[in-house]
């Protein structure tokens, strides 16, 4: 179901996460500002990052969720990751999440990565809707979701438990016909 082949854009390559990505990932996963609005706390050791990578590799085998590395085309460094969660072809729904190294915030790198990923998901999986949530205070992620053409649906009270505690989340979504229309513009 989640058979993904690497995809290259102008700025990034999306691919499976590997154990040799640990140092690159630890560099941004240990940054408290990067994980500020996420369920996981900043990584305290490279071993913690390696454990996360092992969970990703297990997810590929079990098809539980699809985590991907975002590799910078210019440097070859892993600068973030994307994931597709709650893939429910029976219901036509999937959820996307992303994280990016702070030194690349504001450069629209995540826009390209997420756009490639969403396009692949609509084309390759039997889904009609892709949704995403962002903490109500997370202005950067909210701006990305809006640039992707996702529509704000409402605020979900206490929807996620972040590493800092329960958080209200803004729900966004885009439907397959809306995505196709956006891409044809």
Q: What is the CATH number of the domain that holds 39?
A: 3.40.630.30
The reported pLDDT for the residue numbered 96 is: 96
Which whole-number Å values give the CA distances from 110 to 35, 102, 118, 154, in the listed order?
A: 16, 11, 12, 23
In this predicted model, which residue has the larger pLDDT, 52 or 107? 52
Helices and strands in the chain, H and E counts: 5, 8
Q: Per DSSP, which regions of the chain are E strands?
A: 7-8, 12-16, 66-72, 78-88, 93-100, 129-135, 151-162, 165-175
The answer on pLDDT for 97 being more than 80 is yes
- pLDDT, tens only, 61-73: 888 789 999 999 9
- pLDDT, tens only, 8-21: 999 999 999 999 99
Provide mean pLDDT across the span 96-101.
97
Q: What is the dihedral of CA 129, 119, 66, 12, to 10 degrees?
A: -150
Residue 166 maps to a domain: yes
The confidence band for 2, taking pLDDT boundaries of 50, 70 and 90, is low
The answer on pLDDT for 1 being more than 60 is no
Residue 107 maps to a domain: yes
The reported pLDDT for the residue numbered 87 is: 72
Residue 74 corresponds to which tokens in the numbers above?
């210019």
Provide mean pLDDT across the span 54-80.
93
- pLDDT, tens only, 117-171: 999 999 988 889 999 999 999 999 999 999 999 999 999 999 999 998 999 999 9
The reported pLDDT for the residue numbered 60 is: 86
Provide mean pLDDT across the span 30-56.
95
- Number of domains present in the structure of the chain: 1
The reported pLDDT for the residue numbered 64 is: 77
| Contact in structure between 58 and 27 (CB atoms under 8 Å) | no
The reported pLDDT for the residue numbered 61 is: 84
Provide mean pLDDT across the span 45-61.
94
CA dist 127 and 117 (Å) reads 13
Residue 139 maps to a domain: yes
Residue 39 maps to a domain: yes
Domain ranges, residue 34: 7-184
Residue 1 maps to a domain: no
- The phi-psi region of residue 176 (left if phi > 0; otherwise alpha if psi is between -120 and 50; otherwise beta) is alpha
The reported pLDDT for the residue numbered 145 is: 97
Residue 32 maps to a domain: yes
The reported pLDDT for the residue numbered 133 is: 97
Residue 2 maps to a domain: no
Instruction: Tell me the pTM.
Output: 0.93
């Amino acid at each position: 179901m989640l058979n993904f082949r690497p995809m290259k854009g102008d700025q990034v390559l999306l691919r499976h996460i590997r154990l040799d990505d640990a140092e690159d990932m630890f560099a941004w996963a240990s940054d408290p500002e990067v994980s500020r609005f996420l369920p996981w706390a900043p990584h305290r050791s490279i071993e913690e990052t390696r454990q996360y990578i092992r969970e990703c590799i297990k997810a590929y085998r079990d098809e539980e969720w699809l985590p991907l590395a975002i590799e910078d085309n210019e440097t070859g460094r892993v600068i973030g990751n994307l994931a597709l969660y709650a893939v429910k072809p029976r219901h036509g729904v999937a959820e996307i999440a992303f994280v990016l190294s702070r030194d690349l915030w504001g450069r629209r790198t995540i826009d390209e990565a997420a756009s490639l990923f969403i396009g692949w998901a609509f084309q390759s999986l039997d889904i009609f809707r892709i949704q995403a949530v962002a903490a109500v205070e997370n202005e950067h992620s909210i701006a990305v979701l809006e640039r992707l053409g996702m529509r704000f649906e409402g605020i979900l009270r206490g929807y996620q438990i972040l590493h800092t505690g329960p958080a209200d989340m803004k729900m966004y979504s885009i439907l397959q016909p809306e995505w196709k229309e956006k891409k044809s513009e």
